[in-house]
A and B are shown apart, each in its own frame.
Chain A
Amino acid sequence: MTAIKLENVCYAYEADGDKAAVNAVDGVSLEIEEGAFVAVVGHNGSGKSTLARLLNGLLLPDKGSVTVFGTDTRDEKNIYNVRSSVGMVFQNPDNQMVASVVEDDIAFGPENLGLQREEIIRRVDWALEQVGMSEYRKSTPFRMSGGQKQRLAIAGVLAIRPKVLVLDESTAMLDPKGRREVMDVIHALNKREKMSVIHITHYMEEVLEADRVIVMDGGRIALDDAPHAVFARGAELKKFRLAPPAVTLIADALAECGADIPRSVTTEEELEEAICRSLSKD
């Protein structure tokens, strides 16, 4: 089933002084299936964050339409249905928290929805468990690591029980360990809870873990394919100012020299295995 459908969507920010309004998102059509893990990449100003904000009605399209589980985001009466089905996590975890105690912050979403007390408590428990932070229920987030804070921000969004999770560069401010923590959490949600994930990122290693990658350039979709197919394009990626991850580069280089390495390897383990296999064959 289609979770989100975009049809020829255009969006321009208001003209700023003498700069004319340019479409930040320019004629994007796209369908996202339920349960998919989609990575969105593109250099700064390619329109990826604008695209993200169009998905849950924070921004409304100038032209075209965004449909979330059959509801148009411009339908004002149902905007909160849209926002509760598409949860959004932002870049800086510090700017997403409203309360100084973990459980109060996570309860914010369900409280807004006007749920019963027991249901709110159940959801807070569930959300904390999903991100592996149950023991921090009563603590304050001030002294936590970036990865922990971002996991809490995810829990805060999970508590509204979205079917789609949009992460707008949510790993950009984290150290490698924090990034891994967040990636593990969203992979688990994708597999266990069948949640669709739309992950906007700069890190190509993270892109490799997705089922599908969308490359944005100048507000349009430049490429839309499986990660290995996108990275197999090699030099063409430079046009979009993207650098393939090391694993892909090594595999490509080895394959070019005649080694029997499939171009679809995405992880270090796969690469290692492929190299061993090709060596033992000789």
Chain B
Amino acid sequence: MRDVAFGQYYPVSSPVHRLDPRLKIIFTVLYIVTMFFVASYFGYALVLIFLLSVCGVAHVPPKAMFKSIKGVIILLMITAVLNLFFYAGETSVEWTWWIFTVSPEAIDFALKMMFRLILLIMGTTILTFTTGTSELTDAIESLFKPLNLIKIPVRDIALIMSIALRFIPGLIEETDKIMMAQKARGADMESGNVFKRIKAMLPVIIPVFVSAFRKADELADALDARCYQASPKRTKMKKMSFAWRDLVAFLIFAAFVTIIFLDKYLWGGLDKYIVEAFNALIG
């Protein structure tokens, strides 16, 4: 069976893996928010150092983290180019060539935006690297529990999520098999333009759908046979609880966020001091 790395979980044992998954989700959300407050290159460097240290503690090779950018590299380039040429803020100097105008401020802005996106993606992948899918669904279920009060069946939604994740590898395998079967019967899926290729996929998609519905039928029977909805109060085998390591992680994360905010609001971006110090040093 093909090994589908959904979110590429790294099955190793580390303090980061053992953190309460709920806390990890909250950290990730806060991290995303914090990224929009990073004001200076010093701040971005700090974020990068922070991510690399987390990788180290989590026994995840930093290379894996950098790889996660590969999928969006074209998007990053486009964003950078657009930001570079269509910067709308105030500019000190402008260099113009034909219809393109570039300024130091535009370069600064485009670079910062690119760093922000890269770090956003790298940071969020740490969550999926260190948290298994069942932990994730359990954590989401636990975090959204208050929604039960307004009659949202959180438990059922979490079950749907976990079943969906569980069936992804099976469906991909099925698709592979059907594709091979159609190829064996002479189907041509690799040549022709986009429209032709999409059309050639139809004899694959329809059997996959049929098989998915059949699987769903059998699964529904299996759920019923295992007393699904027998008791209005379903219990849980796994209990999530905070440990001292969660507190330590919280303190470290809080310190990180504090420095980012200090950099923006108190120091006004450490860059200019660094530049000054550098200038003073060389003369």
CB–CB A96/B222 < 8 A: yes
Tally of B interface residues using CB under 8 Å:
34
User: Scoring B residues 149 to 190 as 1 if CB is less than 8 Å from chain A, else 0, what string do you get?
Assistant: 000000000010011011001100000000000000000000
With A90-B218, A114-B234 already in contact, the answer to whether A98 and B223 are too (CB < 8 A) is yes
With A83-B230, A111-B237, A112-B230 already in contact, the answer to whether A157 and B163 are too (CB < 8 A) is no
Among B1, B169, B226, the residue within 8 A (CB) of A112 is B226
Query: What would be 20 A-B contacts, judged by CB atoms less than 8 Å apart?
Result: A58-B224, A58-B225, A88-B221, A91-B218, A92-B215, A94-B170, A96-B219, A97-B166, A100-B132, A107-B237, A107-B238, A111-B235, A112-B228, A114-B233, A117-B237, A120-B235, A121-B237, A143-B1, A156-B226, A160-B227
CB–CB B218/A53 < 8 A: no
Size class of A's contact patch? Answer: 35 or more
Query: How far, in angstroms, from A58 to B218 measured CA to CA in the complex?
Result: 11
* B40 at the A interface (CB under 8 A): no
CB–CB B134/A90 < 8 A: no
In the complex, how many angstroms separate the beta carbon of B240 from the nearest chain A beta carbon? 12
CB–CB A56/B225 < 8 A: yes
CB–CB A117/B165 < 8 A: no
* A113 at the B interface (CB under 8 A): yes
CB–CB A100/B219 < 8 A: no
Query: How far, in angstroms, from A259 to B68 measured CA to CA in the complex?
Result: 74
Q: Which residues of A contact B215 (CB under 8 A)?
A: 92, 94-95
* B193 at the A interface (CB under 8 A): no
CB–CB A117/B231 < 8 A: no
CB–CB B230/A80 < 8 A: yes
CB–CB A115/B133 < 8 A: no
* B67 at the A interface (CB under 8 A): no
Q: Which residues of B contact A115 (CB under 8 A)?
A: 235
Query: How far, in angstroms, from A91 to B219 measured CA to CA in the complex?
Result: 11
In the complex, how many angstroms separate the beta carbon of A132 from the nearest chain B beta carbon? 21
Chain A residue, CB-CB nearest to B234 = A111
User: Scoring A residues 149 to 183 as 1 if CB is less than 8 Å from chain B, else 0, what string do you get?
Assistant: 00000001100100000000000000000000000
Q: Tell which of B3, B215, B228 has the most Cβ of chain A within 10 Å.
A: B228
Q: Which residues of B contact A124 (CB under 8 A)?
A: 237
With A94-B170, A100-B162, A117-B239 already in contact, the answer to whether A83 and B224 are too (CB < 8 A) is yes
User: Scoring A residues 233 to 268 as 1 if CB is less than 8 Å from chain B, else 0, what string do you get?
Assistant: 000000000000000000000000000000000000
With A58-B221, A90-B222, A143-B1 already in contact, the answer to whether A104 and B230 are too (CB < 8 A) is no
CB–CB A84/B169 < 8 A: no
Q: Which residues of A contact B233 (CB under 8 A)?
A: 114
CB–CB B235/A114 < 8 A: yes
CB–CB A101/B132 < 8 A: yes
CB–CB B218/A96 < 8 A: yes
CB–CB A100/B237 < 8 A: no
Chain A residue, CB-CB nearest to B221 = A58
Q: Which residues of A contact B231 (CB under 8 A)?
A: 80, 112-114
In the complex, how many angstroms separate the beta carbon of B141 from the nearest chain A beta carbon? 12
CB–CB B134/A142 < 8 A: no
CB–CB B222/A95 < 8 A: yes
In the complex, how many angstroms separate the beta carbon of B115 from the nearest chain A beta carbon? 35
* A280 at the B interface (CB under 8 A): no
CB–CB B230/A114 < 8 A: yes
Query: How far, in angstroms, from A90 to B224 measured CA to CA in the complex?
Result: 12
With A96-B219, A101-B132 already in contact, the answer to whether A116 and B235 are too (CB < 8 A) is yes
Q: Which residues of A contact B3 (CB under 8 A)?
A: 142
In the complex, how many angstroms separate the beta carbon of B130 from the nearest chain A beta carbon? 16
Supplied contacts A83-B225, A96-B218, A113-B227, 4 more A-B pairs, CB within 8 Å: A98-B162, A104-B134, A110-B235, A116-B235
With A112-B231, A114-B235, A124-B237 already in contact, the answer to whether A99 and B166 are too (CB < 8 A) is yes
* B236 at the A interface (CB under 8 A): yes
* B279 at the A interface (CB under 8 A): no
Query: How far, in angstroms, from A137 to B163 measured CA to CA in the complex?
Result: 19
CB–CB B163/A98 < 8 A: yes
CB–CB B134/A112 < 8 A: no
